[in-house]
Amino acid sequence: MNYLMIHIFICIFFYILRIEPYPEGTSFRAYFLISLWMKVRIKTADGEALFYETAWACAFDFKASEEVIFEPGEFRLIETWTVVEIPAWYVLQTQPRSSTFKKHWLMQTNSVWIIDCDYCGDNDTIKFPYINMIKEKVIIEKWTRIWQWLFSKIERADFELVESMNNQDRWWFWTTGIK
């Protein structure tokens, strides 16, 4: 089925229901993709919904919910006061924004943080672990965008225990060549 047939079907469907098929300024392709988005329940510190910065962004930024002061070399958890009910068969990956280190000299201590879908009680707030990498105090002002979140679909494995893998050894990580 091509885009034109899908477009016609959607227009007929919305005409029958008397619903405007595409929000003003939204193309069919963008609307089709938007309509495939999953609904995610969240509770935030400022009572505002989270959003993607651009139409094609795969991750969305998040802000510090309070001012945080990092002493030189200090490790701190930055509190978001946000709870996310992640849909089944998804995880939420948290990663620093590309500008975090350049602008704030902070490094997320465990690179990627994975949050499971069962971490969603009212007090299961998400915190971000950072360490100050310079010999000066770093101040993160309230509502500074400092990390990003990304939903990833997961599969559960059914592990099979074997005596031998019956595959050729590579002998070590980083052994696939230079180029």
Amino acid at 74: E
3-state SS assignment for residue 40:
coil
3-state SS assignment for residue 139:
strand
Return the closest-CA partner of residue 82 out of 61, 104, 97, 103.
61
CA distance 83 to 81: 7
Instruction: Tell me the Cα Rg of the chain.
Output: 22
3-state SS assignment for residue 9:
helix
Q: Among residues 116, 122, 124, 169, which one is catalytic? A: 116
Backbone angles phi, psi at 147, to 5 degrees: -145, 175
**For tokens 């919305």, what's the residue?**
14
- For the question of residue 116 being annotated catalytic, the response is yes
Catalytic residues: 116
